[in-house]
Amino acid sequence: MAKLDGLTIFVPFAVPGDIVDVEVYKRKHGYAEANLLAVRKPSPDRVVPPCGHFGVCGGCKWQMLDYSKQLAYKQKQVEDNFKHLGKFEFPELMPIIGAEKQYYYRNKLEYTFSTMRWLSYDDLRRYEDGEFYEQRCLGFHVPGMFDKVLDIEHCWLQAAPSNDIRLFCREYALTHNLAFYNPREQKGLLRNIIIRTASTGDLMLVMVITDLNEKTRDMMQAIADRFPEITSLVYVVNTKMNDAIFDLPFHLFKGQDFIMEEMEGLQFKVGPKSFYQTNSTQAYNLYKVARDFADIHPDDVVYDLFTGTGTIANFVARRAKRVVGIEYVDTAVEDAKINSAQNHIDNTEFVAGDMAKIFTDSFIKEHGKPDVIISDPPRAGMHPNVIEQLLKLEVPRIVYVSCNPATQARDLTLLNEKYKVTAVQPVDMFPHTHHVENVVKLQLRG
């Protein structure tokens, strides 16, 4: 953010302390938005981004900022949200837990096949000069453009062999003239690939195609032959006009239809539809904080709201008398039950349903009053009905895990009527982005 003659100007990819040239492309009452043209004098906090796609790709928008400063700004983001959006007292924030791995930390990436490759200015000039360019590509959607895809040469987000798999898929498809998908014409054979890795060494590749035929079978066999480390090769046929695939059946081509993730001796089954925190290492740190804040005793009944595939529920079960997980997605609940069974955990119970509708007095009566509640809601935060029930229950401790400090501050303000914030721990799950996770401990007022 810059200020010029009283006008606030938002400049993406600039660093506080930079002296820059900018081009304003949008101006409204009181503020403007601008593109960064040149850095005349770099900030001491500016670093050289390692990624050749930086600035065009939609991810890693903070690569130009020193990582220690990224952590400082994320910590400040939590504090500012609590100060300006919340109306409650809170203690000094604990120092943010930074990521040991700042690159190659994601365990899941999705790439798109397209005939509408994003062209740089140099590409456009060569095109205007009559040079041939390859329109088919495999990469990420350019922000704000559903039909433009940036061809990715090297991504710094996922460890090997992720880049090699993507490059092989692209080259195979080009060499064998397989049709890349055209989003405007809704035509093409190849739509997406999804790569999932695990700390156990397991590796899943999901192929999204519009038809299972000889060409796609040959391609999947070629991938399996080239990368024997792929332990799960799955495909889904999507002929719809949108990219949503979770309502479609997934089919196994080779290996198992899942990969296994491990955390503190626990094994978690991750299928092609399963949700699992995309930064496995930092997820472990996040869950340890939540478990410590929960201060669970052997006779405690724990409720895990928005439990997903039951990762937190199973993670804390060994310290509790019983854990009840609630989740909206039926398939996630089934995964949670499987995860408990394969880890020989017999004190968990998982219930599927809309949290705002089923978290009622009758639910509490049926499943028992909790002593501790852990809540990890989506970015929108908790529904007012859930807040109301929490205030009614008056459990001794609540642990609130959030990926959005703004909605967390709103909910904490509502809970402030009966609960006091006693600890705040930010965690950096996604280096080089503005996103930050935050864990808050609440104790019932005496």
Phi first, then psi: what are they for 374, rounded to 5°?
A: -110, 130
Q: What is the CATH number of the domain that holds 127?
A: 2.40.50.1070
Measured CA to CA, the distance from residue 414 to residue 35 in angstroms comes to 39
127 and 41 in a common domain: no
Domain contains 55: no
Domain contains 367: yes
429 and 288 in a common domain: yes
Amino acid 418: pLDDT: 98
Amino acid 378: pLDDT: 94
Amino acid 202: pLDDT: 98
Residue 17 has a CB neighbour count (10 Å cut-off) of: 12
Q: What is the CATH number of the domain that holds 42?
A: 2.40.50.140
**Catalytic status, residue 403:** yes
Amino acid 369: pLDDT: 96
77 and 32 in a common domain: no
Q: In DSSP terms, which residues pair with 400 in a beta bridge?
A: 375, 440
Domain contains 57: no
Domain contains 144: yes
Residue 423 has a CB neighbour count (10 Å cut-off) of: 18
Domain contains 191: yes
Measured CA to CA, the distance from residue 269 to residue 79 in angstroms comes to 36
Domain contains 169: yes
Q: What is the CATH number of the domain that holds 88?
A: 3.40.50.150
304 and 258 in a common domain: no
379 and 337 in a common domain: yes
Measured CA to CA, the distance from residue 224 to residue 104 in angstroms comes to 23
Domain contains 66: no
Going residue by residue through the chain (446 aa), what tens digit of pLDDT does each one get?
999 888 999 999 999 999 999 999 999 988 999 999 999 999 999 999 999 999 899 899 999 999 999 999 999 999 999 999 999 999 999 999 999 999 999 999 999 999 999 988 878 887 777 777 789 999 999 998 888 999 999 999 999 999 999 999 999 999 999 999 999 999 999 999 999 999 999 999 999 999 999 999 999 999 999 999 999 999 999 999 999 998 999 999 999 999 999 999 999 989 998 888 999 999 999 999 999 999 999 999 999 999 998 999 999 999 999 999 999 988 889 989 999 999 999 999 999 999 999 999 999 999 999 999 999 999 999 999 999 999 999 999 999 999 999 999 999 999 999 999 999 999 999 999 999 999 999 999 98
211 and 234 in a common domain: yes
How many independent structural domains does the chain possess?
Answer: 3
Domain contains 416: yes
| Containing structural domain, residue 16 | 2-46
Catalytic entry in 51, 60, 155, 403: 403
Last residue of a domain, one of 263, 295, 324: 263
User: What is the distance, to the nearest Å, from the Cα of residue 206 to the centroid of all Cα atoms in its chain?
Assistant: 18
Amino acid 422: pLDDT: 98
Last residue of a domain, one of 211, 243, 263: 263
316 and 235 in a common domain: no
214 and 144 in a common domain: yes
121 and 88 in a common domain: no
Amino acid 219: pLDDT: 98
Q: Which two tokens stand for residue 173?
A: 């498809």
Amino acid 345: pLDDT: 98
Q: β-strand 190-197 against 108-114: which pairing, if any?
A: antiparallel
- The 3-class secondary structure across the chain, one letter per residue, is CEEECCEEEECCCCCCCCEEEEEEEEEECCEEEEEEEEEEECCCCECCCCCCCCCCCCCCCCCCECHHHHHHHHHHHHHHHHHHHCCCCCCCCCCCECCCCCCCCCCEEEEEEECCECCCHHHHHHHHCCCCCCCCEEEEECCCCCCCEEECCCCCCCCCCHHHHHHHHHHHHHHCCCCECECCCCECCEEEEEEEECCCCCEEEEEEECCCCHHHHHHHHHHHHHCCCCCEEEEEECCCCCCCCCCCCCEEEEECCCEEEEECCEEEEECCCCCCCCCHHHHHHHHHHHHHHHCCCCCCEEEEECCCCCHHHHHHHHHCCEEEEEECCHHHHHHHHHHHHHCCCCCEEEEECCHHHHCCHHHHHHHCCCCEEEECCCCCCCCHHHHHHHHHHCCCEEEEEECCHHHHHHHHHHHCCCEEEEEEEEECCCCCCCCCEEEEEEEECC
Q: Report in angstroms the alpha-carbon separations of 330 from 33, 246, 381, 396.
A: 43, 12, 20, 30
Amino acid 149: pLDDT: 96
171 and 251 in a common domain: yes
Amino acid 132: pLDDT: 77
Q: Which two tokens stand for residue 276?
A: 């699992």
Q: Do 401 and 382 touch, CB atoms closer than 8 A?
A: no
359 and 377 in a common domain: yes
140 and 97 in a common domain: no
Measured CA to CA, the distance from residue 342 to residue 323 in angstroms comes to 16
